[in-house]
Amino acid sequence: MSSPTHPGRRRFGGLLASTLGAAGAVGLPALAAAQPKPMPTPLPLIKPARLRQGDLVAIIAPGGVTDDEAITKAIHNIESLGLRAQLGANIRAVHGNYAGTVQQRLDDLHAAFRDPQVKAVWAIRGGSGCISLLALIDYGLIRNYPKILIGYSDITALHLAIASQTGLVTFHGPVASSTFSDYTVTQLQNVLMTPQPRYTITMSAENQLLAETQSNFAIRTVHGGLATGRLMGGNLAMVSALAGTPYAADFREHILFLEDVNEAPYRIDRMLCQLDLSVGFRHAAALMLGIFEHCEADEGDTSLTLDATVDQHLLPVSVPAVTGYSFGHIRHQFTLPLQILATLDTERQSLTLLEAAVT
């Protein structure tokens, strides 16, 4: 989730990674993380009402700036699901590369949750800037008027903050302007519109075909087994950025899921180190990594591969750990409800939701 990095930084990061070199093949010793604070008493879980045909969905831009083409696409996507779309008042605002000032973006978020006609709040895109809203959000409003919030990438900041401050289940899924596939729509509808008490998500067949030519789409089992825990995570850059804040992801005894895009291996290594030092991967119930798009080193860089970089962190732990699952900055993705109890089955390459995420 980064902009292009300075060549000197890339070279330095590559040299640092190559110094660690052979350790990437066998994994590094588990990091000596500071002893995490005692686990807080979890907030009561709040599940939003499920979406029904004809429901009104607010489209907002809480992060990066958007445009009319994306807005038109978002409206079409929502209407194709049998839903109605309503645009945030400030959705076309521009403030640098943000979709308006912090106050404008905050106003649209609050207005969407306050409106009794709106049944879901759907971010039109990620980008950057959501983190600036966190200290100003009216969490009491969201707690009192719970509804579905959907998005991924930078929207991870909202997911984690709302989870930690309200207990509301939110949804790491496509943004409103995504290019939907049949797989994406099916997974979205099954989680948000036709909930089941137990629902097994299998990986996208289209992604498995892509794996034949794109190694980052390949499913890898680093540590096999079954693991049950509540889902927590999102975009790696945002999860690591919030470590040490009141909105951090406490993934102890959780299935931690992570994905990212446009990050060099040395940056991924640094962010994974940050999470391991702050909480400790060994305390997770399982580690489930999605598809990291455009995250290999540039040609000619001295660097570990993406897989070798990730394995430095996955190999030392004893919990189930997988990579290449069907979520991330990709077309064919499944929807992950944060805080919902689930079981990861590495042999079947599946994730089973053990409860409905909506009422």
Which one is catalytic: 259, 278, 313, 332? 259
Which one is catalytic: 283, 313, 329, 332? 329
Which one is catalytic: 128, 153, 177, 240? 153
Burial of 345 (0-12, 13-18, 19+ CB in 10 A): middle
Please indicate whether residue 329 is annotated as part of the active site. yes
How far, in Å, CA of 72 to CA of 96, rounded?
22
CA nearest to 344, candidates 242, 219, 159: 219
How far, in Å, CA of 211 to CA of 217, rounded?
5
Contacting residues for 135 by C-beta, under 8 A, at least 6 apart: none
How far, in Å, CA of 63 to CA of 35, rounded?
34
How far, in Å, CA of 57 to CA of 77, rounded?
11
Distances (CA, A) of 51 to 47, 81, 155, 209: 12, 10, 20, 32
Is the separation of the CB atoms in 279 and 287 below 8 Å? no
**What spatial distance separates the first Cα and last Cα of the chain, rounded to whole Å?**
33
**E strands in 301-358:** 321-323, 336-337, 341-345, 350-353
* Residues assigned a catalytic role: 153, 259, 329
